[in-house]
Amino acid sequence: MEVKQTNRLAGESSPYLLQHKYNPIDWYPWCDEVFKRARTEQKVIFLSIGYSSCHWCHVMAHEVFENEEAAALLNEHFICVKVDREERPDVDHLYMEACVALTGSGGWPLSLFLTPEGYPFFAGSYFPLSAFLSLAGKVARLWQERRTDVQKASDQVLGVLSQSIKGASWQETLPQRAFEALRSIFDRENGGFGPAPKFPSVQMLLFLMRFSMCAHNDEAMQMVDRTLEQMALGGLFDHVGGGFFRYSTDEKFLIPHFEKMLYDNAMLLLVYAQAGRLKTAAQVYDFCVRSLMSPEGAFYTALDADSEGSEGGYYLFSYEEAKQILGDEAEPFCRWYDITSAGNFEGKNHVNLLKHGPLKEKEEQTALSAIEKLFAAQAKRALPARDDKILLSSNGLMLAALSVYGAVTGSETVLAQAQKLADFLYVHMRKGGRYYASFCKGLSTHPATSEDYVYLAFGLLHLHQVTLEQRPLAACLSVCQELLALFADQDGLLFMAGRDVKDIPIRTKDTYDGALPSGNSLAAEVFYRLYLLTGEETYRQAFDQIKKALGGQAQAHPTAYTALMSAVLFSQKGLRVELSKNCFHALHGYYPFVCFVESESNETHGIRICRADCCLASVSGPAELERILQAYGKTGQLKEESIE
C-alpha cells in the first residue's frame, strides 16, 4: 500500500489545514519561521487563506494545490503558507483588507503574494490552474527583475492599511438614513436586500426590528417579516434537515451555496426567536444540537458544502428518487415542494416552498411524514465533512441565541444547554490568563481576537439576562476588562489582534458590519448594557468613544453600520429594571430593550423601572411589569414616566 508523503500541515489541528497535508506543496502554517526563511532567502511569500467548508477553496485545492507542476513552481520560487481564516481572523482581516485595496473586492479562497516582511503587493481569489501558473510565473520574474517596483507597490498598500479612522460627531438622523437606504434596496417580492448573491444579513434585520419600535415605523417590521418568511420558504433553509445554508446564489433565496455555518445559524436562531417565528427557530435549534453539538456541550464550526465530490449532493433529490422514497405521499409533496423531473439544480431538486407558500394545517402532517422519509434516505448517503473546531466567536453567538430561544420558549432544557456551553468556554477556551480562539482535538490554539472576546461577552450577557445568575455577569465583566486592556486604541476602537500578538505585520481594526456584526459595533452594545447594569462610567465612555470614532464612516455608509446603529437605538430606549429574583422568574418571554438587575429584596413588589439618568414610577408586581414591558416592546412608550 502506497504511503502518501505529508507536509508541515500534518502537525496542525485545523480540519482545513489537514485537508492540505498531502499536497505536494511545501506548505507552512502561519508562523515566525516563514518570515525568517523568506528574509534569509529573499523569497516572496505565497499566502492562501480559506476554510474547510468553502466550495471554491476545494475547487482550487484540487485544480492547483494537488497539481505537480504548480507545486514545483511554488516550491522553487516561493515560501508557501496556508491559513485557516476561522482560526486566525486577524490574519484574514488584514489580508482581505489588502485584497480589497488592491482589487476592489475579495472572497475565499484568498490568494496573495507578500514581500518577505509580510507586506502584500498582489491579491486575488480563486484562480484556475492555467491562470495560476501564468500568474505565479510572472510574479517570480517580477520579483527577480523589478524588486524595487514591487516594494514600492507594497508600501502603497501598507499606507492604505495603516490609515487612521477619522471620527466625527454622531448624527441623530443616521438610523433614519440607514432605514431609507435599506428600503431603497429592499426586494419587496423576494425579501432580502439587493441583487444576488443574497446573505441573511441578520444584523440588518435586528436593526430594522429596533428601528420599527423606536421610530413607530411599521414598514421596517414588514421588511423583516417578508425576509424571514422568504428565507424560511426558500432553499436557503434546509426543509429536510433543518438549519440554514451560507447564502443564496440567486435573488429568490432558492439555490444556496450548501455549506452550513454555526455562526449563521446562531444569528438566525436569535432573530427568528426574537421575531416569534418559533417553528423555524425550533428547526434551526434541532439542527445545531443534532449536527454540530459536541459531547461536552460546545458547538462545532460547520458542515461542508460538498459531499462525494459534488456541491450540495447530500441535500438533492431527483424526481424519480423522491417518488420511490415517498410512495403514496410523493404526488402532493413534490407539488408542494417543487420537485420536478427537470429539477432546479443541475438536473436534481433542492426542496423549497417558494411556489406553494406556507403549508396549510391539513398539509403539514403529510409533509412531516414525507420529510422523515427523505431524512432517513439522506442518512444513508456520505455525510458532508464536519469542521470540528470549536470557535470562541461562534460559540459566543450561539450562547446568546440559546439564551434568547430558551427564554422565549420557556425551555429549561435549552437554558441548561446554554449554561453547559458557558461552562465549557470558561474552562477550555482559556489558558494562561487569556482566552483562545479555537479548541480542536484537545488543544486551545491562537490567541483570541477582539471579535472573539466581544462575541463571548455578548453571549454571557444574554445568559445573565435570562437567568439573573451572577456568574455569567461576573465573567462578562472580566472579559470586557481584558478586552479593553488588550485591544483598545486611543480612539476607543478595538484592534483585531491583541497588543501581545507579535506575528502579524500590521494590527487592523474591523469596523464595518458585514455578514456578521463587527467586533466594534457589538462591543458598543455590550458596553452600554453593562453601563445600565452596573452604573460604571467606564462602560458609558467606551460606548461613546466607539460611537464617535465611527460617526464619520457611518455617515458615509449607513447600511454598513446597522449593528452599531442598533446599539445607539438601545442607548436611547434601553430600560433598567430592578427586581427580585422571585419576580424575575415570574416573567415570561424575552425583552430585548431591558436590562434586568437583581434587587436585594426577595419580595415580588418594589420593582423599579429606570432609564440611564432617572428612575420612573415603581411597579407593584410581576403581572403589571409584564404588561408594561410587553407594551413597551411594541410602542417604545411607557404609560407613566413620572420621575420619583
Q: Is the dihedral of CA 603, 605, 610, 614 positive or negative?
A: negative
CA-derived radius of gyration, the chain: 25
Q: Per residue in 313-340, pLDDT tens? A: 999 999 999 999 999 999 999 999 999 9
For residue 447, give the H/E element and its range: strand 443-447
> Does the structure show a pLDDT above 50 at 139?
yes
Q: How far apart are CA 359 and CA 140, in angstroms?
A: 59
Which DSSP string do the residues of 246-307 spell out, in sequence order?
SEESSTTS-SEE--EEHHHHHHHHHHHHHTT-HHHHHHHHHHIIIIIB-TTS-B--EE-SEE
Q: Angle of helix 412-428 relative to helix 450-467, nearest 10 degrees?
A: 140
If we measure between CA atoms, which residue out of 226, 224, 449 comes closest to residue 354? 226
Looking at residue 1, what is its pLDDT? 43
> Does the structure show a pLDDT above 50 at 642?
no
Give the mean model confidence (pLDDT) for residues 342-356: 96
If we measure between CA atoms, which residue out of 170, 201, 275 comes closest to residue 569? 170
Q: Which three cell numbers stand for residue 587?
A: 416573567
Q: One-letter amino acid identity for 15?
A: P
Looking at residue 54, what is its pLDDT? 84
Looking at residue 639, what is its pLDDT? 66
Q: How far apart are CA 400 and CA 456, in angstroms?
A: 9
Mean confidence (pLDDT) of the chain: 92
Q: Per residue in 285-305, pLDDT tens? A: 999 999 999 999 999 999 998
Q: Per residue in 458-480, pLDDT tens? A: 999 999 999 999 999 999 999 99
Q: How far apart are CA 120 and CA 425, in angstroms?
A: 35
Contact by Cβ (8 Å): 522, 464: no
Alpha carbons within 13 angstroms on the beta-carbon side of residue 230 total 24
Q: How confident is the model at residue 242 (pLDDT cuts 50, 70, 90)?
A: very high
Looking at residue 415, what is its pLDDT? 98
Looking at residue 514, what is its pLDDT? 85
> Does the structure show a pLDDT above 70 at 601?
no
Please count the other Cβ atoms lying within 10 Å of the Cβ belonging to residue 451.
Answer: 26
Cβ-Cβ contacts under 8 Å for 515 (sequence gap 6 or more): 199, 200, 201, 247, 264
Q: Per residue in 188-228, pLDDT tens? A: 999 999 999 999 999 999 999 999 999 999 999 999 999 99
Q: Which three cell numbers stand for residue 75?
A: 516550491
Please count the other Cβ atoms lying within 10 Å of the Cβ belonging to residue 89.
Answer: 24
Contact by Cβ (8 Å): 400, 273: no
For residue 437, give the H/E element and its range: strand 434-440
Q: How far apart are CA 439 and CA 392, in angstroms?
A: 8
Which DSSP string do the residues of 561-572 spell out, in sequence order?
GHHHHHHHHHHH
Give the mean model confidence (pLDDT) for residues 57-61: 91
Give the mean model confidence (pLDDT) for residues 20-36: 94
Judged by average pLDDT, the poorest of 25-29, 97-101, 497-501, 550-554 is 97-101
> Does the structure show a pLDDT above 60 at 16?
yes
Q: Per residue in 81-100, pLDDT tens? A: 999 999 999 999 999 988 88
Judged by average pLDDT, the poorest of 22-31, 145-154, 173-182 is 145-154
> Does the structure show a pLDDT above 60 at 633?
yes
Stated pTM of the model: 0.92
The DSSP secondary-structure symbol of 217 reads -
Q: How far apart are CA 41 and CA 544, in angstroms?
A: 48
Opening angle at CA 343, ends 339 and 344, nearest 5: 100
Cβ-Cβ contacts under 8 Å for 449 (sequence gap 6 or more): 89, 90, 393, 437, 487, 496, 497, 498, 519
Q: How far apart are CA 626 and CA 64, in angstroms?
A: 61
Cβ-Cβ contacts under 8 Å for 603 (sequence gap 6 or more): 580, 582, 583
> Does the structure show a pLDDT above 70 at 423?
yes
The counts of H helices and E strands in the chain are: 25, 19
Looking at residue 441, what is its pLDDT? 82
- Cis omega (within 30 of 0) for bond into 295: no
Helix, strand, coil in percent for the chain, rounding step 5: 50, 15, 35
Contact by Cβ (8 Å): 391, 280: no
The DSSP secondary-structure symbol of 241 reads T
Q: How confident is the model at residue 619 (pLDDT cuts 50, 70, 90)?
A: confident
Q: Distances in Å between the alpha carbon of 160 and those of 100, 102, 124, 168, 488? A: 11, 10, 17, 20, 21
Looking at residue 158, what is its pLDDT? 78
Q: How far apart are CA 302 and CA 387, in angstroms?
A: 5
Judged by average pLDDT, the poorest of 46-50, 85-89, 213-217, 441-445 is 441-445
